Amino acid sequence: MRLIAPFDPWCSKICTCPSKYSLSAYTGCSHRCLYCYITSYVRDPFNARPKKDFIRRLTREMPKVERDIPIAIASSSDPYPPCEEELELTRAKLKILVSWSAKILLITHSNLVGRDIDILKSARAAVGITITTLDSELAARLEPSAPSPDKRLNTLAELNDAGIMCGARIDPIIPGINSDEKHLGELVNSLAKAGVKHVTASTYKAKPDSYRRLANAFPDHERYLRFHYWTMGESMAGSRYLTSEMRLKLIKGVKQLAEARGISFASCREGLRDYESSASCDSSHLIPNVS
Ligand code: SF4
């Protein structure tokens, strides 16, 4: 199986991602986010392990890559699981991609991306960091093994200071858990201060396994979530969605917050045509055309 493959949105008809490759040095992800969807697709999902013979295979595949199509790192694992600190596979991979002048889109929940600023500075690269809340206690419940939101925010500022284009993902917004308007306003303010150029927001899409994890971790919210997802919500693209009115309210709110601060905005897989954007939904428009 090839390492560098065309991005596969798992047959989603409402995915608005531009054409890109997907590449990961790891299978699975150790950040253990409750809302993670890879548990529906990947065996032993919360155990990040390096792909066999990764560097040799990557070196062999690079000549076949079209240089102007971005390589997204990664879509079904995080490029910076804790073991990356020691293994440095993502770091080695970045060096290879830079030597081919590849367009790189790094998406992570980790501040460890800051370690690779020296490589990213000379790359055709943009970085997207996911921050779902500023509340570190809530983040520790939602994303038990991911670095704290403070660390991620600091890294966004460091990347921005180094001249690397950054976007942020507020993804997912889970009603009643991290959807408070005032809190989202503070989050977008902090992202603006860190120099983020683009925000993508997305509401939580429920699948039975991720929903079970959320319901177990937030028993006080279970009835509320059940009502909004399973009683009132709708089925779309293999998941349970909130009603379009609820999604619209949440997405419109973040769009207004971002645009009021001069930050471009896009939603992700909401099926809300009016809220799709000329900016990309994955921050790939931030990748410089020349290094
Ligand atoms: S960082 Fe991404 S891939 Fe990893 S557990 Fe969290 S949502 Fe899943």
**Ligand 1 pocket member 84 (CB < 6 A):** no
Q: Is 77's C-beta closer than 6 angstroms to any atom of ligand 1?
A: yes
Number of alpha carbons in the 13 Å side-chain half-sphere of residue 88 = 8
In this prediction, residues 3-28 reach a mean pLDDT of 82
Please provide the size of the chain in residues: 291
Under 8 Å between Cβ of 164 and 144: no
Q: Cα of 78 to ligand 1 centre, how many Å? A: 6
The mean pLDDT of 17-27, rounded to a whole number, is: 90
Which pLDDT belongs to residue 167? 97
Q: Residue of the nearest CA to atom 8 in ligand 1?
A: 36
Q: Is the CB of 109 under 6 A from ligand 1?
A: yes
- Residue nearest to ligand 1 atom 6, measured at CA: 33
pLDDT digits 0-9 by tens, 34-58: 999 998 888 999 999 999 999 999 9
Percent of the chain with pLDDT strictly greater than 90: 81
CA 77 – CA 107 distance, rounded (Å): 9
Task: Determine whether the shortest distance from the Cβ of 169 to ligand 1 is under 6 A.
Answer: no
200: number of Cβ within 10 Å: 25
pLDDT band for position 272 (cuts 50, 70, 90): confident
pTM score of the predicted model: 0.94
Q: Would you say residue 10 has pLDDT above 70?
A: no
Whether pLDDT at 9 is above 90: no
**Structure-block tokens of residue 47:** 């155990």
33 lines ligand 1 (CB under 6 A): yes
Cβ neighbours, 10 Å, residue 12 = 16
| Amino acid 7: pLDDT | 81
| pLDDT for the residue numbered 44 | 94
Hey, what domains does the chain have and what are their CATH numbers? 5-281 (3.80.30.30)
Residue 11 pLDDT class (50, 70, 90 cuts): low
pLDDT of residue 275: 61
At residue 216, the pLDDT reads: 97
Give the model's pLDDT for residue 271.
Answer: 79
What residues contact 218, with CB distance under 8 A and at least 6 apart?
141, 177, 225
Over residues 132-154, the mean pLDDT reads 98
Residues in a beta bridge with 284: none
Using an 8 Å Cβ cutoff, are 50 and 28 in contact?
no
Of 193 and 279, the one with more pLDDT = 193
pLDDT at 178 over 80: yes
Is pLDDT at 291 greater than 60 in this prediction? no
Q: What is the average per-residue pLDDT within 228-252?
A: 95
Distance 20 CA to ligand 1 centre (A): 20
- C-alpha to C-alpha distance for 44 and 66, rounded to whole angstroms: 32
Q: Determine the 3-state secondary structure of 281 from DSSP.
A: coil
Provide CB contacts within 8 A for 103, sequence distance 6+: 67, 68, 69, 70, 71, 124, 125, 284, 287
Average pLDDT over residues 84-113: 97
Q: Using a 6 Å cutoff on CB, does residue 34 contact ligand 1?
A: no
* Nearest partner of 213 among 34, 27, 79, judged by Cα: 34
**CA 32 to centroid of ligand 1, rounded, Å:** 6
In three-state form (DSSP H/G/I as H, E/B as E, the rest C), the secondary structure along 36-77 is CCHHHCCCCCCCCEECCCHHHHHHHHHHHCCCCCCEEECCCC
> What pLDDT sits at residue 1?
64
